[in-house]
Amino acid sequence: MIDLERIQAFLDELLVERGLADHTITAYRNDLEAFAAFLQAHGGDLSTASREDLSAWLADLAQRGLMASSVARKLSAVRRLFRHLLERGVRGDDPSRLLSAPKKRRTLPKVLDESEVEALIAAPDRATPLGLRDAAMLEILYATGMRVSELVSIGFGDLNAEAGFFRVVGKGDKERLVLVHAPALELLDRYVRQVRPLLMAGSPPTDALFVTARGEAMTRQNFWYLIRRHAAMAGILKTISPHGLRHSFATHLVKHGADLRGVQMLLGHAQVTTTEIYTHVANDRLRQVHARYHPRSGRVQES
């Protein structure tokens, strides 16, 4: 079958020029051969396929119940194949050019409830130097909603304790100020005065605010290992994702009345659409307000 030969030529080029891994090539092969089989079953092939044929193929994938992420991956492979065929003169057009990938459903990441956050922050033994450090980091992470990568990158010059904020550099090297409340600052002050000098003794100097037991800058991986350990100590059965406390921070703010625009600014999202994953939390709160205060929400009407 000539389509299989064209697919093989495309895969050979990917393997040689792009150096893709074997499992990636295998995934491409499976997706493209299935696409070619669909075209053949409908009386077409790669050289004659139209945009309508591709739309029918996408509709078939959706009918079969494939997740949007899987459909998007298959469409990406097909697009690359058609660009290859266009560049090689097999086709004079690219029928996939104007097709849109299905939108992935946005879901709210798993979060900790407020009692679980309290238990997590209370888990480290603050009578020990490392426990006090861990408690300070957990307290600040939940107080600010910053990313873990931002937390471990903080230097001494990024803290303005008097004004109560950190300067952080987020995605795309964008700077923003994150607010931090007094209890977190007090715990941080104890760490800086009592613990950090002990950890830094005999180690090369570093501007990193948070350091390991060996006086090295804390890494994202190190800190999330500590979080998982403290979660286990606190009896938290949920698997805490790398953004667990960040999403808990945002969810709890919205739950208590914060508007999405304000949460967007605190999280450092470039667009409010990113923050809209928390909309259902706000909607739940509005439903509770409506049910409680609307005169015809189910309360017995006075005659």
Angle at 18 between CA 12 and CA 22, to 5 degrees: 65
> Angle between the 22-41 and 68-87 helix axes, to the nearest 10 degrees?
80
Which position among 74, 133, 196, 269 bears the catalytic label?
Answer: 269
Q: Is 163 exposed, middle or buried (0-12, 13-18, 19+ CB in 10 A)?
A: exposed
Give mean pLDDT, residues 19-40: 89
Give mean pLDDT, residues 166-195: 87
115-154: pLDDT as tens digits = 999 999 999 999 999 999 999 999 998 888 888 888 999 9
Domains 2-87 and 114-288 are alike in CATH topology? no
Nearest to 251 by CA among 38, 109, 147, 43: 109
The CATH number of 2-87, from 1.10.150, 1.20.120, 3.30.1360, 3.30.420, is 1.10.150
Which position among 6, 74, 147, 230 bears the catalytic label?
Answer: 147
The C-alpha atoms of residue 223 and residue 108 are separated, in whole angstroms, by 23
Annotated catalytic residue 147: yes
The C-alpha atoms of residue 19 and residue 118 are separated, in whole angstroms, by 48
Phi-psi region at 172: left, alpha or beta (left = phi > 0; alpha = psi -120 to 50):
left
Which position among 18, 88, 110, 171 bears the catalytic label?
Answer: 171
Which position among 6, 74, 133, 246 bears the catalytic label?
Answer: 246
Annotated catalytic residue 278: yes
pLDDT at 109 exceeding the cut of 70: no
Mean pLDDT estimate for the chain:
83
Which position among 28, 142, 191, 278 bears the catalytic label?
Answer: 278
112 falls in which pLDDT band (50, 70, 90)?
A: confident
The C-alpha atoms of residue 298 and residue 302 are separated, in whole angstroms, by 12
Question: pTM for the whole thing?
Answer: 0.58
Annotated catalytic residue 181: no
Domain ranges for the chain: 2-87, 114-288
What is 201-270 written as a DSSP string?
Answer: TTS----BSSB-TTSPBP-HHHHHHHHHHHHHHTT--SPPPTTHHHHHHHHHHHHTT--HHHHHHHHT-S
Q: Say whether domain 114-288 belongs to CATH 1.10.443.10.
A: yes
Q: What is the reported pLDDT for 303?
A: 38
205-254: pLDDT as tens digits = 999 999 999 999 999 889 989 999 999 999 998 887 667 788 888 888 87
Residue with more model confidence, 202 or 172: 202
Which position among 91, 167, 243, 285 bears the catalytic label?
Answer: 243
Residue with more model confidence, 87 or 67: 87
Annotated catalytic residue 83: no
Annotated catalytic residue 74: no
Annotated catalytic residue 243: yes
